[in-house]
Amino acid sequence: MADANAISRVVMLGPPGSGKGTQAAFLSESLGVPAISTGDMLRQAVAAGSELGRKVEDIMASGALVDDDTMADVVRERLRQEDAVDGFLLDGYPRTLGQAETLEGILEDAGVQLDAVALIDVPEEELVRRALARKRADDKEDVIRERLRVYSEKTSPLIQHYRDLALLRPVNGHQSMEQVTSDLLSALGAAESGS
Ligand code: AMP
């Protein structure tokens, strides 16, 4: 039976290049809940050439955000699936205050609540350094800059929103990957076994 006190519904927040996706995959194992990446879902839709994929392809390529209504449909549908009923780690959603409200509505309808929001904090200069260092041929520098700008304009207000709701668990992301994982686990009250 699921432990009623366990942290099982988590949002991962952090700028592009913070290592959020990698950490979500690690945490998913430890917490035993699926990591749900809306970016991965949209990339799959693009690869499949579905109606959704055709709608979001150019928007994604520009570094801009897909509109909130489209994302609401994607996330509502995904959270209804069996594997997400007892918990999830959302990676890449919400990204706007409107999306945060939508998520609150979806969870309210399901009679559940968010347990925590893990924030991977990385200084801006470090993000730019990382982005340029790992730049792929298809990652244009202006698209990288646009993603960082969109994060700071549209997504970073979520930090204060979740702080106000007493859900925010900030972790220093300017450390080794292993250290970030371990800090995230303790911030979520799910310290690694043996420690
Ligand atoms: P990600 O892999 O999370 O960086 O997402 C890649 C791209 O998918 C983003 O730059 C957006 O264009 C789009 N995307 C993913 N999640 C969202 C979301 N929650 N809201 C709007 N657009 C999104």
CA 144/CA 154 separation, integer angstroms: 15
Atom number, ligand 1, closest to the C-alpha of residue 38: 16
Contacts 24+ apart (CB under 8 A), 123-131: 123/174, 124/15, 124/148, 126/174, 127/15, 127/16, 127/17, 127/18, 130/17, 131/16, 131/17
Flag whether pLDDT at 161 surpasses 60: yes
As a whole number, the mean pLDDT across the chain is: 92
pLDDT of residue 195: 41
Name the closest-CA residue to atom 12, ligand 1: 60
pLDDT of residue 3: 57
Q: What are the structure tokens assigned to 89, written together?
A: 């780690």
Residue 141's pLDDT band, with cuts at 50, 70 and 90, is confident
Total-model pTM: 0.93
Query: Contact 53/47 with Cβ under 8 angstroms?
Result: yes
Q: For 49-58, write each residue's pLDDT tens digit.
A: 999 999 999 9
Cβ < 6 A, ligand 1 pocket: 16, 38-39, 42, 59-60, 63-66, 71, 92-93, 95, 99, 147
Q: For 47-101, write each residue's pLDDT tens digit.
A: 999 999 999 999 999 999 999 999 999 999 999 999 999 999 999 999 999 999 9
State the CB neighbour count (10 A cutoff) for residue 173: 24
Query: Contact 93/152 with Cβ under 8 angstroms?
Result: no
3-state secondary structure 98-116: HHHHHHHHHHHHCCCCCCE
Atom number, ligand 1, closest to the C-alpha of residue 99: 19
Flag whether pLDDT at 184 surpasses 50: yes
